[in-house]
Amino acid sequence: MIAKIKGRLTQLNANLGIVETASGLSYEVFLTPTLMAENKLGEIIEIYTYLQVREEEWRLYGFSTQPELRLFKLLLTVSGVGPKTAFTIISYSNIEQINTAIKNNDFSVLQKIPGLGKKTAMKIIVEIAEKLKSEVELDKLFLSDEDKNVLDALVALGYKVNEARQLLAKIDKNLPLEEKIKQALKYKT
């Protein structure tokens, strides 16, 4: 396992960099936008890495911090999320945004990431939240399909997700869908 690399960033092509170590060994590493912004060609770079081993190729993914690497590995535990998707999520977001999205069951943050649909975003939120039970209020996570529709309707009407959740929490769960939306609108005015 290659856990960490320290060396000179000698080449950069899009998000693929080549890092040459002091021993002369060079590694091809996928770099996050944060790493590319913080380091220039010719500078010494120190990165935490994840090695993906496949039959046809090996890939190294580089991260600027251990929490980024931990989040990447946590994303890999979600069924249907591979290294490429996990790396894209970390590249287009930051740890705080993702943690907040998970804690608030706000899949819209993940939906903004290219190539990530609503179902995958929801799956990531739910599966990671289950793994982080101590840090997440699970009663906020699991909504009925009808309540999810109410949330979606309120968000479509211009409410922020957290605001829509707060309104939904005030409404009687036994009301029909249309009535829940009407009640939520009454609370806001």
The domain that contains 171 carries what CATH number?
1.10.8
The residue ranking higher by pLDDT, 117 or 29, is: 29
- Model confidence, pTM: 0.69
Q: Are 187 and 154 in contact (CB under 8 A)?
A: no
Domain of 44, CATH number, reads 2.40.50.140
pLDDT at 135 over 80: no
- Considering the domain architecture, whether residues 132 and 172 belong to the same structural domain is answered as no
- Considering the domain architecture, whether residues 135 and 71 belong to the same structural domain is answered as yes
pLDDT at 40 over 60: yes
Residue 38 half-sphere exposure toward CB, CA atoms < 13 A: 12
Average of per-residue pLDDT across 112-129 = 86
- Average predicted confidence (pLDDT) for the chain: 85
- Considering the domain architecture, whether residues 83 and 49 belong to the same structural domain is answered as no
pLDDT band at 188 (very low <50, low <70, confident <90, very high): low
- Considering the domain architecture, whether residues 135 and 149 belong to the same structural domain is answered as no
Q: Tell me how crowded residue 182 is: count the other CB atoms within 10 A of its CB.
A: 12
- Cα(95)–Cα(93) distance, integer angstroms: 7
What's the farthest any 2 CA atoms get from each other in the chain?
69
**What 3-state class would DSSP assign to 54?**
coil
pLDDT band at 47 (very low <50, low <70, confident <90, very high): very high
Q: Which two tokens stand for residue 92?
A: 């287009």
Domain of 82, CATH number, reads 1.10.150.20
- Cα(120)–Cα(125) distance, integer angstroms: 9
Average of per-residue pLDDT across 9-14 = 93
Residue type at position 88? T
- Considering the domain architecture, whether residues 38 and 86 belong to the same structural domain is answered as no
Q: Which two tokens stand for residue 65?
A: 């911090």
Q: What percent of the chain has pLDDT over 70?
A: 92
- Considering the domain architecture, whether residues 72 and 9 belong to the same structural domain is answered as no
- Considering the domain architecture, whether residues 84 and 132 belong to the same structural domain is answered as yes
Q: What is the pLDDT of residue 106?
A: 81
pLDDT at 37 over 50: yes
- Considering the domain architecture, whether residues 172 and 148 belong to the same structural domain is answered as yes
Q: In terms of residue numbers, what domain contains 159?
A: 143-188
- Which residue among 15, 46, 63 closes a domain? 63
Tally of structural domains, the chain = 3
Q: What is the pLDDT of residue 72?
A: 94
pLDDT band at 48 (very low <50, low <70, confident <90, very high): very high
pLDDT at 173 over 80: no
- Considering the domain architecture, whether residues 133 and 147 belong to the same structural domain is answered as no
